[in-house]
Amino acid sequence: MDLGTRHIRTAGKGSGSVEITLPIDLRDLVGLPCRITLRDGIRPDIVLQPDLQRAQAAFAIVWRHMATTLSRPCDALPDWQLAGFGFALRPQGGGGDLPLLCWRDGLKLAAPGPHDAGAVARTVAAFGRALAAELRISAALAAGFGAACGYLLAGAPPLPDGQEACDLAAAALRDSTQPGAPLDAAGDGPEGACGAAFWSAAQPVLAATSELFLNWSADPAGHATLRAAWRRGRSIQMSGG
């Protein structure tokens, strides 16, 4: 990711303190300790490697809560493996091969709650996609399952490319859950989305969502019909008809 050119400044001659003006995209990294590496050569590079252990720890907590909430009593909880995810500094759409976690979201989750709804939605979406196979949800529906989980728990669509799955799930579960509503109070404490209260409130929502996507996995033709109807309605809405 090219973040442009920035000037290196010194805080004072002989002080040993070096300052670099960071671009706005890195504002969430302000205050983090960084490892500094010099790559020598014809075009020397100074590499700043921020310490993101706090974000990793927050991801691990959310993963453990979500895996526990979705698992059956006889199931062994899957470990959180960094190799099973892609990582980016900023939220990104596009559906790559791996569920994507955003470091910016991890840092927000590492701070005291209540937590940003978008950060919760995107993190839950990535974990839901990763857990779909454990729940025997079709691989074709894994990303949609994750997006729907994020939306129904946080009340915000994780990313625009998951809007279809969010709308279909919300419509199917309208009588049993309202996006974000049952979790607002549970997420208001200092633990926010990393706390047991949030995930206790999330349990019936996740159970209903996983059951819905299991049914759609068993009936791909029915799911395709729902998707076609959603797209027709979306097209009419966008055209103002």
Q: Among 24-33, 154-163, 215-224, name the one with the lowest average pLDDT.
A: 24-33
Which strand (E) or helix (H) includes residue 117? helix 117-131
Confidence of residue 186 (pLDDT cuts 50, 70, 90): low
Nearest to 65 by CA among 177, 203, 183: 203
For residues 81 and 209, the model is more confident at 209
Tell me the pLDDT tens digit for each residue of 130-179.
999 999 999 999 999 999 999 999 988 888 888 999 999 999 998 666 66
Q: Is 90 exceeded by the pLDDT of residue 127?
A: yes
DSSP assignment of 23-38 equals -GGGGGGTT--EEEEE
Contact 192, 109 (CB under 8 A): yes
Tell me the pLDDT tens digit for each residue of 59-71.
999 999 999 999 8
Q: Say if strands 86-88 and 100-102 run parallel, antiparallel, or are unpaired.
A: parallel
Contact 62, 127 (CB under 8 A): yes
User: Which residues touch 12 (CB under 8 Å, ≥6 apart)?
Assistant: none
Residues in a beta bridge with 49: 35
- Distances in Å between the Cα of 130 and the Cα atoms of 38, 97, 137, 142, 173 are 36, 11, 11, 8, 22
Contact 168, 230 (CB under 8 A): yes
Confidence of residue 85 (pLDDT cuts 50, 70, 90): very high
- Hunting for tokens 């309208």 — which residue is that? 174
- What percentage of the chain has pLDDT greater than the value 90? 51
Structural domain boundaries in the chain: 8-50, 53-217
- What percentage of the chain has pLDDT greater than the value 70? 84
Q: Is 80 exceeded by the pLDDT of residue 95?
A: no
The DSSP letter of residue 40 is -
Q: Is 14 left (phi over 0), alpha (psi -120 to 50) or beta?
A: left
Contact 94, 84 (CB under 8 A): no
pLDDT for the residue numbered 11:
67
Q: How confident is the model over 196-222, as a mean pLDDT?
A: 94
- To the nearest 10°, report the CA torsion of 158, 164, 169, 170: 80
pLDDT for the residue numbered 185:
57
DSSP assignment of 182-208 equals GGTTTTSSTTGGGSHHHHHHHHHHHHH
Distance CA 125, CA 112 (A): 21
Distance CA 194, CA 185 (A): 14
Q: Is 60 exceeded by the pLDDT of residue 182?
A: no
pLDDT for the residue numbered 234:
78
Distance CA 148, CA 206 (A): 9
What mean pLDDT is reported for the chain?
A: 86
For residues 228 and 11, the model is more confident at 228
Q: How confident is the model over 42-46, as a mean pLDDT?
A: 85
Report the predicted TM-score, pTM, of the whole model to 2 decimal places. 0.87
pLDDT for the residue numbered 181:
54
- Hunting for tokens 């395709």 — which residue is that? 224
